[in-house]
Amino acid sequence: MNRRQFGSLVAGALPLASSALAQDQKVSRKGRLKQGVCGGVFGRGMAFEDQCRHAARLGAQCFDLRNPAEFPIMKKYGLIPTVVGGAMTLSGGCNRKEDHAEAEKKMHAIIDAIAATGGGSAIALSGNRRGMSDEEGLDNVVAYMNKVKAHAEDKGVTICMELLNSKVNHPDYMCDHTKWGVEMVKRVGSPRVKLLYDIYHMQIMEGDVIRTMRDNLQYIGHLHTAGNPGRNEFDLDTQELNYRGIAKAIVDMGYTGYLSHEYSPKYGEALKVLDEMLTICDV
């Protein structure tokens, strides 16, 4: 499906605010669901400050997965730093005790940097199994979180463990099912340790995303979007996820955190696509 076809489908019910885009004016949103962005939604070649400027103009409230050196630019445009990374890698997360000392040191520094901006969240990654049982990994992740949770509580920063699929994108990743992640959060028992529920990833692993989010709402601290299949924007003809219905359900269930877009634009101009995605979820 090309951009013209997609635009005709959403015209009227989902206005594209094309005049605002052309005039570089700020887009007004309902704001019942707080939305944010990841850098990939801007495609390639756009300077970070321009990304921030356009994100704020289009109604985003946070920017995910950036480093503390970029926080001043984000602050300039009123964007909150969310799920800030750097404490660990995808393959070497916090499920191995030998990695805890270094990951703990880095997480403390990230928490301090986020707190200095007035608040936000950090990301944690389980790491890959590499032959380790899920139960041993769970014990190790809980032990790590117990080392950093008090600092997060004191600073008002939430650490979100990301749920990722191990079927398509991240083979062998341990935190690949909601049940495992929820059990980790329960064992840690801190209001500042929660899950980053990635709708795209969990659609691949489990499906039934609305019911799963509703049943586990208290354990979810952040949300990510992308279309499936493909991990691109969620258009109306090629995707199996109805994000407008999902967004409405999220609001209705009382979710108060952020939903950030993490797709890679495929069909057209990145800023126009972003406006469309923000509009779909602006319920």
Residue 163: left if φ>0, alpha if ψ -120 to 50, beta else—which one? beta
* Structural domain contains residue 146: yes
* Structural domain contains residue 18: no
Q: Which residues contact 98 (CB under 8 A, 6 or more apart)?
A: none
Which of 26, 6, 55, 29 lies closest to 279, judged by CA? Answer: 29
* Structural domain contains residue 86: yes
* Structural domain contains residue 15: no
Domain that holds residue 74: 30-280
pLDDT, one tens digit per residue, over 61-117 is 999 999 999 999 999 999 999 999 999 998 888 999 999 999 999 999 999 999 999
pLDDT, one tens digit per residue, over 209-240 is 999 999 999 999 999 999 999 999 998 788 99
Dihedral sign from CA coordinates of 189, 152, 156, 63: negative
Q: Which tokens is 69 given? A: 């050196």
* Structural domain contains residue 24: no
* Structural domain contains residue 4: no
* Structural domain contains residue 259: yes
Number of independent structural domains in the chain:
1
Domain CATH number, residue 138 = 3.20.20.150
* Structural domain contains residue 11: no
Write down the pTM of the prediction: 0.91
